[in-house]
Amino acid sequence: MPADFVVVIPSRLKSTRLPDKPLADIAGKPMVVRVAEQAARSRAGRVVVATDHPRILAACSEHGVEAVMTAADHPSGTDRLAEVADLLALADGQIIVNVQGDEPLIEPGVIDCVAAALDDSDAPMSTAAHPLDNAADFFSPNVVKVVLDRHNRALYFSRAPLPWARDAFATDRSVLPADHPALRHVGIYAYRAGFLRQYRELSPAPIESIEALEQLRVLWHGFPITVATLAGAPAPGVDTPDDLERVRRLFAAR
């Protein structure tokens, strides 16, 4: 386990499905603060919210959460992280874990696992996945799949059903074969700060725009991504008003 890594939580105020989502109240605290509190339970040496809006900055300050203002026009969360690496003057070898600002139920152990996977690898980036055993999820384009090599590095990420079980699916697509190595990608990433600075110079990849998957830019340019396989699916994030109410009920029950 790395002795020291930094969690950065990108948090933008704008949300089409859930206005002001980072500031949504969950048991008396804004959602982004709840995410930071969960991240602080990991082994991270530092947790920082990276935002583009003074209201989020103020909310973090009120609750004792470190936050920095970043530019509002970043094309992706990864570019925002690169700016944070510069703002915090992080050394090129420093590990940064990107935790999404709409995951108030994220398990600290998942954060630790992704950081450890990068620490144990010479790759510049790591992420996570978990086994898929549901055929409907496997065939859904909304579920991103990842295929690994024998060193637990990503061969490819796709919305398509990969790997394709040719013989089994020729007769039945309602269930997955018992030995099928289907993995669902989990959207948490760890980077070395130096690679984040390098990432800003990488041109978008054709496969990235086709699949609408930003991580394919890294593979297309020839950089490896180490993947930590989790035992099961992590707690879901908050995308809709119904998701928010579900999380509020869980916190109230605590």
Joined together, the tokens standing for residue 200 give: 């800003």
Q: How far is CA 46 from CA 30, 146, 246, 250, in A?
A: 19, 30, 29, 27
Identify the pLDDT of residue 4.
Answer: 85
Domain 3-230: assigned CATH number: 3.90.550.10
Q: How far is CA 173 from CA 119, 125, 183, in A?
A: 39, 34, 17
Q: What is residue 202's DSSP assignment?
A: S
> How far is Cα 20 from Cα 114, in angstroms, rounded to an integer?
28
Identify the pLDDT of residue 75.
Answer: 78
Domain boundaries, the chain: 3-230
pLDDT digits (tens, 9 = 90+) for 84-123: 999 999 999 999 999 999 999 999 999 999 999 999 999 9
Query: Token match 């947790």: residue?
Result: 47
Identify the pLDDT of residue 171.
Answer: 95
Identify the pLDDT of residue 163.
Answer: 97
For the chain, residues with pLDDT lower than 70 are: 1-3, 16
Dihedral sign, Cα of residue 72, residue 102, residue 237, residue 196: positive
Identify the pLDDT of residue 78.
Answer: 85
